[in-house]
Amino acid sequence: MNKNPFLALVLGLIPGLGHLYLKKFGRFILYGGGALLLFSFAVFCIVELGERTIVFLPLFLLAVLWIINLLDLVITIINQTKKQETGELINSSKESERFYIILLSIIPGLGHFQLGLMQRGLTFLVACTGIGSMIIFVALLTSQESFLIFLITLPVLWIYNFFDVVQQLQKKERGEQLDDRTIFEEFEEHREQGKKNKTFASILAMFPGAGHMYLGLQRRGLQLMVAFLLSIYLLDLLRLSAFLFLVPIIWFYSFFDALQQTAKYGKERVHDEPIIDYFINHQRWIGIGLITLGGYYLLDQTLLPILNDYFATIFNIHLSELYYRYFQTSIVALLLIGGGFKLLLGNKEDKGGTKK
């Protein structure tokens, strides 16, 4: 029974699974077990040892093992396809061409080059290599590892490149003429027609609020973007690691809400309804919050160091220790208690109003 080479290649993205699908059990144990051991060692270095510098070695070896696994899988698939019967060569010519193009699309742009779409392929190739090299260069130049988080854009571009190759290949098989133009020209065409590109909106949805703003939902997108960034800032400023679960909740809500709004776009009217409409009619509370946040930041960064040195010299009292140990926790606890009472009193007023 012939195995599907495309499915084997997709499974091969996880080391060992492609060989397991092709019933190469020895290579499955070699690649799968090796990848599992290297990944476990990397996690052990971070969690138990706390050594982030050593972790690059197992991750580098894991990347090398992943590349060797893919190359070995490709060679194995090619050798198996050559062993097919001669009577199937005519019928399988299209399948082999399809597989070859999809195989080339692993490197962004090469699949488009094989289809004759030079400009479109060059766009993907330059975008992936340029963005990746620039992010790594900035991270090394500034010695800030946090910039590497933007490398998440590379798998997004890779997936978009992969499915774009499949879409162009399907057009060729249907006998349609392929138009060699860049993706930016398509976006510009949609913009001139007054339409929004749903694919681009889905990509922007990776960052909370950006997809909504692209669709014209400014208030909804602004609230989600502010909530996401402000939650990260405040949780880091107040050292509230127990509430970090709020960050992924906001991200997932924004992402799937953007996908829903994208699906509605063009079929029905999309309304720019804010997530929380209370602050629109009560902007005074926003002003109070900003003043409070500014005062807190002034106290934390300016007044506290001055007062700490003064009290430590005269009274031998370290205000910074008391501040970081008790003050921040007390403020957060009081805010949570106040918010709880506000919700309880609000529910009672609503029930009283409904009874009347």
Higher per-residue pLDDT: 352 or 81: 81
- Residue 95: its pLDDT value, please? 67
- Residue 353: its pLDDT value, please? 53
- Residue 46: its pLDDT value, please? 74
- Residue 30: its pLDDT value, please? 87
pTM of the complete model: 0.50
- Residue 194: its pLDDT value, please? 63
| Interval 1-13: pLDDT, tens | 466 777 777 778 8
Question: Cα 274–276–278 angle (5° rounding)?
Answer: 115
- Residue 106: its pLDDT value, please? 80
Question: What percent of the chain is predicted at pLDDT more than 70?
Answer: 84
Question: Cα 72–17–71 angle (5° rounding)?
Answer: 15
Burial class of residue 165, CB neighbours in 10 A (0-12, 13-18, 19+): buried
Residue 75 · residue 52 · CB < 8 Å = no
| Interval 144-197: pLDDT, tens | 777 777 787 888 888 888 888 888 888 888 888 888 888 777 766 766 666 777
